[in-house]
Amino acid sequence: MNAKQLLATDRAALILQLVPYLIGKGEVSLAEAADEFDVTVEQMRGMVEKLTVIGRPGDGGFWQMANDLFDIDWDLLDERDIIVITNTVGLERTPRLTAREAAALLAGLQLAATLPGVGESGVVQGLLAKLARGASSAPAEVIVAPGEVDEARVTIADALQRGVAVSFTYQAPDREPTTRTVDPVKVHIASGQWYLQGWCHLRQSMRTFHFERISDVRATDIPITHGGEPVPGLFEASEADAVAEVRLRASVLPLLSDFLDPSSVGGEGDERTAFLRIADERSLKRLAARHAGDIELVAPTSARHAVRTWAEAGLAQYVSSNEFPSGDAG
């Protein structure tokens, strides 16, 4: 019963937003309005139809008159799937933001403020103040700590805006450094890490670069030529990916969501099995060591062996020392 109540409240919230939206639009298709409100076309039709029985109470207990209710152009709706509101009885102005809506936007703005070319303009400061004033009650403070924006980030963002290629040294793990020239297309920030997607002149394809592995960046004066190529999702699976079978704790599943196909997860309780996809098999040892004891590489055998060798080599550095600690507690 509680869930149903919530749903009704959510639908009421949508109707309160719908009236000013329709007035602002003047004339809008069912499909466009449905898209804007994240509902299906039929749900939007239902909401609009419902609107026409909503209105002011009748005077002195009499039934409501037609002009006490919201109304729409029924012909346009029935014949052309177009919404036009023809009578309003209130709610014309857009409601204030709820505390939570304001908090969601305020936190997003803090992240946007760190982007070169977005943050410096003073636009963000003005917006923070407006949103705080436009909320119906004080939002819970949600802080997004600013990360460091170094010169590489500024150079790449600037090249992206100007539409010129950048050149830099790239050092992927376990590989020799290479010099790349890249048409920058998109800068991603995910889990606090920055990535550049762009057309790599060396590899002749769209590639993703981790900012931390980029050095010696400079903008070239070569206009970009492959900016319009399709850009895959940041962690989109590729045919070339290595696939590894792992045993892992349920608690690390969410941390690996970028690499694993949820349908491949097996087992119950805390001990699970899954298949990971990863661009470079050599990175598996790093992943397993980062989640020490929570992930076990099962196959391929070569990767399992590499994990063990990796950890043993790490340990050997301490074994050779005279002050080798005997326990976990230090």
Partner 1 sequence: MPTESNRIAPEERLVNLVVALMATEQGLTKDAILTSVSGYREQHESGASKDALEKMFERDKENLRGLGVPIDTIGDHTDPDDLREARYRVPTAEYELPGDITFSPAELAVLNLAGGVWSESSMSAEARSGLRKISALGLDVDAPIIGYAPRINLREPSFAPFQRAIEQGRVVEFDYLKAGEESPQRRRIQPLALLDYEARWHVYGFDLDQDAERTFLLSRISSEVKITRHSFDVALREGAGDKALAGLQEVAARQSALVEVAPGTEAALRLSRRGTPAEQGIRVPYVDVHIFADELASYGPEVRVVEPATLRAQVIARLRRVVARHGDADTEGCEG
How many beta carbons lie within 10 A of that of residue 277, not counting itself?
18
Our finding on whether 1 is near partner 1 (CB under 8 A) is no
Q: Please, which residue, 80 or 290, has the CB nearer to partner 1?
A: 290
Sign, Cα dihedral of 236, 241, 242, 243: positive
Could you give the CA distance from residue 77 to residue 201 in angstroms, rounded to a whole number? 52
The answer to whether 226 contacts partner 1 (rule: CB under 8 A) is no
Q: Are 89 and 101 in contact (CB under 8 A)?
A: no
Chain positions 23 to 82 lying near partner 1, rule: CB under 8 A, are 23-25, 36-38, 46, 50, 53-58, 61, 64
The number of beta carbons lying within 10 Å of the beta carbon of residue 263 is 8
User: Which one of 73-81, 129-137, 259-267, 268-276 is the stretch in contact with partner 1 (CB under 8 A)?
Assistant: 129-137
Interaction mask 240-279, partner 1, x per CB under 8 A:
--------------x--x----------------------
Nearest residue (CB) to partner 1, 242 versus 311 = 311
The count of other CB atoms within 10 Å of the CB of residue 299 is: 12
Binding status of residue 157 toward partner 1 by CB under 8 A? yes
Among 75, 236, 266, 318, binds partner 1 (CB under 8 A): 318
Nearer to partner 1, 278 or 307 (CB): 307
Q: Tell me how far apart the alpha carbons of residues 36 and 39 are, in angstroms, rounded to a whole number.
A: 8
The pairing of strands 71-72 and 28-29 is unpaired
Rounded to a whole number of angstroms, the minimum distance from the CB of residue 164 to partner 1 is 13
Work out whether 143 is an interface residue with partner 1 (CB under 8 A): yes
Residues 98-127 that bind partner 1 (CB under 8 A): 98-105, 107-109, 111-112, 115, 118, 121, 123-124, 126-127
Cα-based distances in Å from 307 to 87, 206, 288, 304, 319 = 70, 30, 7, 5, 18
Does residue 296 belong to the site contacting partner 1 (CB under 8 A)? yes
Tokens linked to 7: 């749903």
CA angle 253, 259, 264 (to 5 degrees): 65
Question: 141: which 2 tokens?
Answer: 């403070």
Q: Looking only at residues 164 through 203 of this chain, which bind partner 1 when binding is defined by CB under 8 A?
A: 171, 173-174, 177, 184-193
